[in-house]
C-alpha cells in the first residue's frame, strides 16, 4: 500500500493534492475530532483508569482491615476462653473425681435412709427381760428407696405423710423402748442388790434388812408421767419432715440416675464451618473476586473504545478525499474567496466602465472572505466556532469531573494513610487463680471443678495496621501537562480552524489552476447578478429579520427596559443583549446607527445599509409590511452566493439548459459574455 501511494504521489497530482490536504485536515474538523478522541483516551487512561485502580485499593484495604480485626478478635477471644478450653480438655478426668465424691456422699445419705426407713426397731421381751434387736436390716435401703420413689408402686408408700407418720411411730417405739429398758435395769438393780444383801448379811438379819429390796414393783411406776405424752415426737420432728425427706430422695435419684454412664463429648461450633455464614476471609475474597471480574469487564470496554478511537484517523483521509472530489465536481463548493484574480477581473471591468463589485457591500462581506485579511470570518464560521467551543467545553467539564473525583478519592486515601496508622505493643501477665478453702464435700467439688480455670499466661503482642493502610495511585504531573496542552491545542484549532482550512483551497488551486479560475469567474458572475438585484435581496433579508425583530423585542427584557426607560437603563447599551440590530444585516448598534425618525416606526439600520437603501426606510415606504409574519418558513432561506446558476437570468441570453454543453463550456461562455 505504501508503494502504491508513493507511485501515485510521484506521477499523479490527485494523490499529491490529497496527501497535502491530509496535513491541513489535521488542523480542521477531522483533525480536531482525532485530537478530541485522543483527549478522551487520555481521560480514560488517566483519571478513569486511576479511579478503577484506587477502587481496587479500597477493596484491598477493606479485606485487610477485616482480616486484621478478625485476628485481633481471635487473639482476645482465645485469651478470654483459655480457662474454659482447659476445663473442657480435663473434663473427663474431673467427671471421675466428681463421681467418686458423689459415692462418698452416698455413704452419708445411706445412714440417713437407714435411720428413716428401718421397719423393726429393737423390742424388749417382758418374760425374758432381754433386748431383742432386728438383724434383718436392709443393707441396700438406698437403692430400694430410690426404686420405690421412682416407680408408681412406691408413690403411696413414700408419700410425705407416710414417711412422717412412720418416723414418728419409730420415734415413739424408741422412746418406749428407752422407758422399758429403764424398768428392766431397775428390776435388775433391785435383784442384784437383794442377792448381795443376802450374801453379806447373817440369816437373822436378812429378813429384816433385805426385805425392802423385794419391792421391785416400784420400777413399774411411771414416775416421769404418762408415757404417751413423754414419747410424743410432734415437738421434736419438724412439720415438713416427710416432704423434705421425699425431696431429698427425689433429688438424690435424679443425681445418681445413670451416673455411671456419664460421657463427655464437646465440639466447638465455629461460624466458619456453617454453610449459611461466611468467614471474614471468605467475604474479603468474594469482594475482591467480584471487583476483579467487574474490573476486567471495564478494562475490556476501555480497550475496545481505545481501539475504536484509533480509527478516527481514517476520518481525516475520508474528509480530504471528499473535499478533493467536491472541489472538482461542484463549482460552488467552498467558493467564497475574494482572490487576486477576482480583484483583477473587477479592476478590468472598472477600467472599461462596467459594473464592478469592489468594495463589497456590508451584507456581502459577511458571506465572503478576502484572502488579504487572513483572520476574517464569515457569520457562519463565527457561529460554527462558537458552537464547537461550547461543545468542547462540555467535554472539558466532563473530564474535569473525573479529574476532580479522582483528586478527591486520592486526597481522602492519602489523609487516611497519614492519620490512621496505629502501632501498639502489649506486654504483661494474665493470671487467674481460684483459692477454695475447706475440706468438706462441697469444697472438694468446687476445687475439682474450678482448678482448670486457674491460668498464668504471659502476653507479648506487637500489632500495626501499616499493611492495611491505603496506597493510592496518584497521577503524575506530566499527565496533567499533556492533557492541558491537548486541550489548549484543540481550543486553538477550533478558534482558528477556519483560517487553517482556507489553505485547502490554496492547495487545490495550486494543482488545479484552471479549475480555480473557473470557480472565481463563477463566483464573480453570481455576485454580479446579486448586485443588480441587491435591493430585492436586502428587502428579502429585511423581511426575515423584521419578523425576528418582533419576537426579539418581546423576549429581550434588557432591550425592552432600555427602550421604555432610556434615562434609567441606557447603560444596558454596553451589553450586546441591550443593543438594537440592523433590520437588514443584523449588525449590532453603534454610534453610527440610524433610527427611523418616524416615531411610529423606530426600525434601526446600520450606516451602510441605510445608504444602500438610498436613505429610505423600508417600513415607512410600505416596502415592508408592519404586520406580524405568521409563515416564517417563507423567510428562512439563507442568503447564498453559490446558488444554482439556472435560478438566475444570465446576461446576454446565455442558456443553461443546453444538454450538449459541459459545465466547462458553460463557464467559458459566461466569461466571454461578461467581458464583452
Q: Residue 639 corresponds to which cell in the numbers above?
A: 442568503
Note the helical H segments in 420-533.
Answer: 441-450, 477-495, 497-511, 513-532
Q: Nine-digit cell at 460?
A: 507479648
Please give the average per-residue pLDDT across 249-268, as a whole number: 63
Is residue 89 over pLDDT 70? no
**Is 539 buried (19+), middle (13-18) or exposed (0-12) by CB count in 10 A?**
middle
User: Are the C-beta atoms of 612 and 585 separated by less than 8 Å?
Assistant: no
Rounded to whole angstroms, the Cα distance separating 117 from 249 reads: 12
Q: How confident is the model at residue 142 (pLDDT cuts 50, 70, 90)?
A: very low
Q: Is the pLDDT of residue 230 over 70?
A: yes
Q: What is the pLDDT, as a whole number, of residue 269?
A: 57
pLDDT digits (tens, 9 = 90+) for 413-440: 888 888 888 886 766 666 777 777 777 6
- The whole-number pLDDT of residue 248 equals 79
- Report the distance separating Cα 87 and Cα 274, nearest Å: 25
Residue with the larger pLDDT of the pair 144 and 331: 331
Instruction: Identify the band that residue 397 occupies on the pLDDT scale cut at 50, 70 and 90.
Output: very high
Q: Which of 399, 285, 307, 289 is CA-nearest to residue 50?
A: 399
Q: For residue range 502-512, what is the model confidence (pLDDT) as tens digits?
A: 888 888 888 88
The least confident of 47-51, 135-139, 305-309, 372-376 is: 135-139
Measured N-to-C along each axis, helices 477-495 and 29-43 cross at an angle, to the nearest 10 degrees, of 160
Structure confidence at residue 135 as a pLDDT band (50, 70, 90): very low
Q: What is the DSSP-derived secondary structure letter of residue 652?
A: G
The more confident residue out of 157 and 454 is 454
Q: What angle do CA 595, 600, 602 make, to 5 degrees?
A: 20
- Asked whether the beta carbons of 17 and 508 are under 8 A apart, the reply is yes
Mean pLDDT across the stretch 585-609?
79
Cα(129)–Cα(137) distance, integer angstroms:
23
pLDDT at position 173 is 82
Q: At what angle do helices 91-117 and 49-89 cross, to 10 degrees?
A: 40
Q: What is the 8-class DSSP label of residue 45?
A: I
Per-residue pLDDT band at 234 (split at 50, 70, 90): confident
For 185-212, how does the pLDDT look when each residue is reduced to its tens digit (9 = 90+)? Answer: 887 887 887 777 877 777 766 766 776 7
Confirm if 131 and 124 have CB atoms less than 8 A apart: yes
Q: Which residues, in sequence order, are bridge partners of residue 456?
A: 431
3-state SS class at 419: helix
Q: Are 22 and 316 in contact (CB under 8 A)?
A: yes
Task: Quote the pLDDT of residue 420.
Answer: 80
- d(Cα 263, Cα 265) in Å, to the nearest integer? 7
β partners of residue 460: 427
Give the mean model confidence (pLDDT) for residues 260-280. 54
Could you tell me which residue, 285 or 53, shows the higher pLDDT? 53
Which span out of 111-115, 295-299, 347-351 was modeled with the highest average pLDDT?
A: 347-351
Contacts 24+ apart (CB under 8 A), 37-42: 37/309, 37/312, 38/309, 38/486, 39/395, 39/399, 39/483, 39/486, 39/487, 39/490, 40/309, 40/395, 40/399, 41/305, 41/306, 41/309, 42/479, 42/482, 42/483, 42/486
Taking CA atoms, 30 is separated from 268, 311, 379, 486, in Å, by 72, 12, 21, 15
CA distance 267 to 274: 13
Q: Is the pLDDT of residue 145 over 60?
A: no
% the chain with pLDDT above 90 = 3
Amino acid at each position: 500500500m505504501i508503494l502504491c501511494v508513493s507511485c501515485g504521489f510521484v506521477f499523479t497530482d490527485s494523490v499529491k493534492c490529497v496527501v497535502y490536504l491530509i496535513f491541513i485536515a489535521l488542523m480542521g474538523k477531522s483533525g480536531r475530532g482525532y485530537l478530541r478522541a485522543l483527549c478522551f483516551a487520555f481521560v480514560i487512561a488517566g483519571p478513569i483508569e486511576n479511579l478503577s485502580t484506587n477502587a481496587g485499593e479500597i477493596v484491598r484495604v477493606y479485606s485487610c482491615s477485616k482480616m486484621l480485626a478478625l485476628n485481633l478478635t481471635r487473639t482476645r477471644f482465645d485469651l478470654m476462653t483459655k480457662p474454659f478450653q482447659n476445663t473442657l480438655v480435663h473434663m473427663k478426668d474431673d467427671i471421675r473425681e466428681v463421681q467418686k465424691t458423689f459415692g462418698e456422699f452416698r455413704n452419708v445419705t445411706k445412714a440417713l435412709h437407714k435411720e428413716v426407713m428401718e421397719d423393726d426397731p429393737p423390742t424388749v421381751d417382758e418374760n425374758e427381760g432381754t433386748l431383742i434387736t432386728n438383724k434383718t436390716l436392709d443393707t441396700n435401703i438406698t437403692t430400694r428407696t430410690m426404686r420405690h420413689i421412682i416407680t408408681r408402686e412406691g408413690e403411696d408408700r413414700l408419700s410425705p405423710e407416710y414417711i412422717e407418720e412412720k418416723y414418728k411411730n419409730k420415734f415413739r417405739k424408741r422412746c418406749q423402748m428407752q422407758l422399758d429398758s429403764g424398768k428392766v435395769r431397775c428390776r435388775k438393780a433391785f435383784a442384784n442388790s437383794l442377792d448381795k444383801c443376802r450374801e453379806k448379811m447373817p440369816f437373822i438379819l436378812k429378813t429384816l434388812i433385805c426385805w425392802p429390796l423385794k419391792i421391785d414393783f416400784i420400777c413399774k411406776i411411771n414416775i416421769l408421767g404418762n408415757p404417751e405424752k413423754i414419747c410424743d415426737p410432734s415437738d421434736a420432728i419438724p412439720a415438713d419432715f416427710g416432704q423434705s425427706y421425699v425431696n431429698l430422695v427425689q433429688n438424690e435419684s435424679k443425681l445418681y440416675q445413670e451416673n455411671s454412664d456419664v460421657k463427655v463429648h464437646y465440639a466447638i461450633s465455629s461460624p466458619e464451618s456453617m454453610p449459611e455464614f461466611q468467614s471474614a476471609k471468605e467475604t474479603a475474597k468474594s469482594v475482591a473476586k467480584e471487583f476483579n471480574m467487574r474490573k476486567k469487564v471495564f478494562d475490556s470496554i476501555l480497550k475496545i473504545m481505545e481501539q475504536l478511537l484509533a480509527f478516527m484517523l481514517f476520518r481525516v483521509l475520508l474528509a480530504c478525499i471528499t473535499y478533493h472530489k467536491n472541489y472538482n465536481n461542484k463549482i460552488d463548493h467552498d467558493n467564497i474567496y475574494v482572490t487576486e484574480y477576482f480583484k483583477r477581473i473587477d479592476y478590468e471591468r472598472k477600467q472599461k466602465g462596467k459594473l464592478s463589485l469592489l468594495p463589497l457591500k456590508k451584507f456581502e462581506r459577511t458571506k465572503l472572505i478576502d484572502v488579504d485579511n487572513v483572520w476574517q470570518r464569515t457569520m457562519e464560521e463565527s457561529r460554527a466556532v462558537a458552537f464547537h467551543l461550547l461543545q468542547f467545553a462540555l467535554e472539558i467539564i466532563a473530564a474535569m469531573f473525573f479529574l476532580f473525583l479522582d483528586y478527591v478519592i486520592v486526597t481522602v486515601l492519602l489523609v487516611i494513610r497519614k492519620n490512621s496508622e496505629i502501632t501498639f505493643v502489649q506486654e504483661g501477665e494474665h493470671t487467674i487463680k481460684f483459692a477454695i478453702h475447706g475440706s468438706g464435700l462441697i469444697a472438694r467439688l468446687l476445687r475439682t471443678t474450678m482448678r482448670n480455670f486457674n491460668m498464668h499466661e504471659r502476653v507479648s503482642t506487637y500489632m500495626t495496621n501499616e499493611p492495611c493502610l491505603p496506597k493510592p495511585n496518584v497521577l503524575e504531573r506530566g499527565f496533567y501537562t499533556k492533557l492541558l496542552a491537548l486541550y489548549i491545542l484543540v481550543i486553538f484549532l477550533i478558534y482558528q480552524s477556519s483560517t487553517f482550512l482556507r489553505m485547502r483551497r490554496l492547495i487545490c488551486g495550486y494543482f488545479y489552476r484552471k479549475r480555480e479560475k473557473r470557480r472565481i469567474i463563477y463566483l464573480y458572475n453570481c455576485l454580479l447578478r446579486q448586485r443588480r438585484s441587491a435591493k430585492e435581496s436586502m428587502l428579502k433579508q429585511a423581511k426575515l429579520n423584521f419578523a425576528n425583530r418582533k419576537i426579539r423585542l418581546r423576549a429581550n427584557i434588557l432591550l425592552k427596559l432600555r427602550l421604555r426607560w432610556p434615562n434609567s437603563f441606557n447603560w444596558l447599551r454596553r451589553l450586546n443583549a441591550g443593543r438594537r440590530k440592523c433590520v437588514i444585516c443584523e449588525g449590532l448598534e453603534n454610534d453610527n446607527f440610524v433610527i427611523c425618525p418616524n416615531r411610529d416606526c423606530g426600525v434601526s439600520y446600520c450606516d451602510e445599509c441605510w445608504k444602500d437603501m438610498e436613505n429610505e426606510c423600508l417600513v415607512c415606504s410600505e416596502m415592508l409590511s408592519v404586520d406580524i409574519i405568521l409563515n416564517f418558513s417563507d423567510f428562512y432561506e439563507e442568503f447564498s452566493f453559490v446558488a444554482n446558476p439556472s435560478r438566475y437570468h444570465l446576461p446576454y441570453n446565455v442558456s443553461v439548459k443546453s444538454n450538449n454543453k459541459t459545465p466547462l463550456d458553460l463557464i467559458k461562455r459566461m466569461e466571454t459574455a461578461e467581458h464583452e
